[in-house]
Chains A and B, each alone.
Chain A
Amino acid sequence: MEFLESILVTPFIEIWESPYYFIELVLVGLSTGVLYSLVALGFVLIFKASGMFNFAQGAMVLFAALTLVGLMEHGLPLWAALILSVATMVGLAFLVERFMLRHLVNQEGLILFMATIGLNFILEGTGQLMWGSDVKRLEIGIPDQPFDILGGKVLLNTFDVTAAFIGALLVITLAVFFQKTPMGRALRAVADDHQAALSVGIPLKTIWIAVWTIAGIVALVAGIVWGAKSGVQFSLSLIALKALPVLILGGFTSVPGAIVGGLIIGVGEKVAEGFWGPALGGAIENWFAYMLALAFLVFRPQGLFGEKIIERV
C-alpha cells in the first residue's frame, strides 16, 4: 500500500509542489532528447534506404568520436581532425557498401540485422584497437557554465542548450534534405520499393553509400556532443540502446517520428528518474524508455507517425 502510494500519489504531489524542478527536468530532458533523436535519425535513415535495422549505429558514434579525439591527441587542430573524421566516415560507408551490402542484397531483414551486429563488433574493436580504450576528454570549446532562468528558479547549463541547438540544426537540415532535394526524393523512392526505384534508374549503390555517409556524419555529431559532455569512452556505443525505444515510439521509417520520439523519451526519462526514481530504487533510466514505448505500442502498433496498415490477401 505504502509502495503504491509512493509511486502513484507522491510523485504527483511533488510535481505540484516543486513546479520549477519539474520545468528544469523537462528542459534537461528536452536537451537530452535532441541527442536521442540524433542517434535515432541515424537508424531511421539507414532503415528507410536499405531496410536494415543498423545495430552498429552506436558503434559508429563511438568509432567517429574516437577517431576525432585520437587525431586531436596527435596534435591536429579541431578543423583538420573534423575533416579527416568525416573522410573516415565516408570511407567507412564505401567499405560497408563494398564488403557488406553488395553481398547481402535480397536477404531477409533479420540477416541484415545480424550483419550489422557483426559490424558493431568490428567497429568497436577497430576503434579501440587504434585509439586505445581509456576515457578521453574531448575539448571543443563549447562553454559549460550554469545559468538560470525564470528569476533564478530553474538552473540550466549553456552546454546542454548549445548541444540541443546543434542537434536541432542537424535535424532540420536532414528534414529539408529529405523533403526538398533530388537525392532526398531518390532516397525515399528506394525506401519505398527497391526494385521499382532501380527500374526508374536510381543507382542503388550510390544511394547506399550516401545514406551510410549521412548516418556516419550524424554519428560523428552525436559522438562529439556526447563525448564533450561525458568523455569519449566505450559507453558511447551504448547510447544506441537508448535510441531504440525512440524508434518504437516514432516508427522505424519516420523522420519526424524520430525527432518527436526522442524528445518524449528524453523528457519522460528525466522526469521519471527525478520523481519516481527514488521510490523505485533508482537507475530506472535503463528500462523506463522501453516500458514507455511498449505501453505505447499496445495502443498504437504503427508508432506515432506510421500509417495504419490495411492487410490484404
Chain B
Amino acid sequence: MPDGPQTPTGRVIGDVIMKVENVSLSFGGVRALDNVSFDVREHEILAIIGPNGAGKSSMLNCINGFYHPQEGAITYKGKRRDTAKPYEAAEEGIARTFQNIALFKGMSTLDNIMTGRGLKMKRNLFWQALYYGPALKEELEHRAKAEEVIDFLEIEAIRKTPVGRLPYGLQKRVELGRALAAEPDLLLLDEPMAGMNHEEKEDMVRYILDVNDEYGTTIVLIEHDMSVVMDISDRVVVLDYGKKLAAGTPDEVKRNQDVIDAYLGVSHD
C-alpha cells in the first residue's frame, strides 16, 4: 500500500498544488470574498460549500483568472496566478464548467469537445487552409482523443447534434466533456449537479469519481447537495458571506458548530 491519505477511489493524495492566501475581492461596496485562505492538494476532490451568495463562484472565478482579487495571492504549481488571464489559466492546465451552462450553442457536441483540444493543436494557418498532411493528421489524432471523451461520458448518440437542441442534463455532460478534453490537471466544477434528477446526479457523480480515479485529476467543486458533497469529497471548505467559516474532512465540517449555525440559520450571537 502506498503511504499518505487516499481519495475515496483509492488514489494517493499528493502535495499542495494550489494555495489560496488571504484573497479578498469586492465589487463597488460589496465584499464578495473576505480574506479567504485554503489549499488544494494534488489528486484530491475538494468541495466548496456555502449558502447562496457566499462567494463560491467568485472564488472559482478568481482561480481561473476571470476576476482578479484586490488582495491576497493565488499560487498554482509554484507560480503566482492571481493576476493571470483566463486563457493563461487554461494553458496551465486549469479547466472548468459553469453554473449556468456555457456551451457554444451553434456548434455540435463533437465540435464543442474539440474546442477543448484546441490548446494542444499546433498546426498553423497554411496547413489548416489546405486541411492536408500534418494538419489533417493532427485533426484526426485529436478527433480520436475527443472520441475517447465521448465514449467515457456515453454521449456517442448526440455527437453531431447542435448542443442548443440537447436537454439540460446532457448539456451539463457535454460541458464536462469539453473541460475533460483539455486533459486538465485541475478541474473546477461549478454546481455540476444543479437542476438534475436523481439518476442524472448518480451518473454525474460516477463521472467525477472516474475522472479523479483514472486520470488523477484534481477536482474543486461547488455543490449544494450535501449528501453528494459528504460522499465524494476528501475535504470541504465552507464559505459564508465571503468569509471562510470552516475547512476539513467532511466529518469534521459536519460537526462544526459555525457550519451548523450558518446552514440552520441560528442567530450569530
Interface size on B, residues (CB 8 A): 8
Interface status of A105 (Cβ within 8 A of chain B): no
> Considering the chains assembled together, what is the distance between the CA atoms of A313 and B102 in angstroms?
8
Contacts of B57 in A (CB 8 A): 313
Q: Report whether B27 and A313 are in contact in the complex, using a CB–CB cutoff of 8 Å.
A: no
Cβ of A175 to closest chain B Cβ, rounded Å: 27
> Considering the chains assembled together, what is the distance between the CA atoms of A313 and B57 in angstroms?
8
Q: Report whether B27 and A310 are in contact in the complex, using a CB–CB cutoff of 8 Å.
A: yes
Interface size on A, residues (CB 8 A): 2
Interface status of B241 (Cβ within 8 A of chain A): no
Interface status of B99 (Cβ within 8 A of chain A): yes
Interface string of A274-313 (1 = CB under 8 A from B): 0000000000000000000000000000000000001001
> Considering the chains assembled together, what is the distance between the CA atoms of A313 and B61 in angstroms?
8
Contacts of A313 in B (CB 8 A): 57, 61, 66, 98-100, 102
Give residues 92-140 of B contacting A (CB, 8 Å).
98-100, 102
Contacts of B102 in A (CB 8 A): 313
Contacts of B61 in A (CB 8 A): 313
Contacts of B66 in A (CB 8 A): 313
> Considering the chains assembled together, what is the distance between the CA atoms of A310 and B57 in angstroms?
14
Cβ of A187 to closest chain B Cβ, rounded Å: 28
Cβ of A127 to closest chain B Cβ, rounded Å: 38
Cβ of A240 to closest chain B Cβ, rounded Å: 31
Contacts of B27 in A (CB 8 A): 310
Cβ of A4 to closest chain B Cβ, rounded Å: 37
Cβ of B175 to closest chain A Cβ, rounded Å: 12
Chain A minimum-CB-distance residue to B96: A313
Contacts of B98 in A (CB 8 A): 313
Give residues 169-222 of B contacting A (CB, 8 Å).
none
> Considering the chains assembled together, what is the distance between the CA atoms of A310 and B98 in angstroms?
17
Give residues 44-71 of B contacting A (CB, 8 Å).
57, 61, 66
Contacts of A310 in B (CB 8 A): 27
* Chain B contacts to A: CB under 8 angstroms: 27, 57, 61, 66, 98-100, 102
* Chain A contacts to B: CB under 8 angstroms: 310, 313
List 5 other contacts, CB 8 Å, given A310-B27, A313-B66, A313-B98.
Answer: A313-B57, A313-B61, A313-B99, A313-B100, A313-B102
A-B contact pairs, 8 of them (CB 8 A): A310-B27, A313-B57, A313-B61, A313-B66, A313-B98, A313-B99, A313-B100, A313-B102
In the A-B complex, list the 4 residue pairs whose CB atoms are closest, starting with the nearest.
Answer: A313-B98, A310-B27, A313-B102, A313-B66
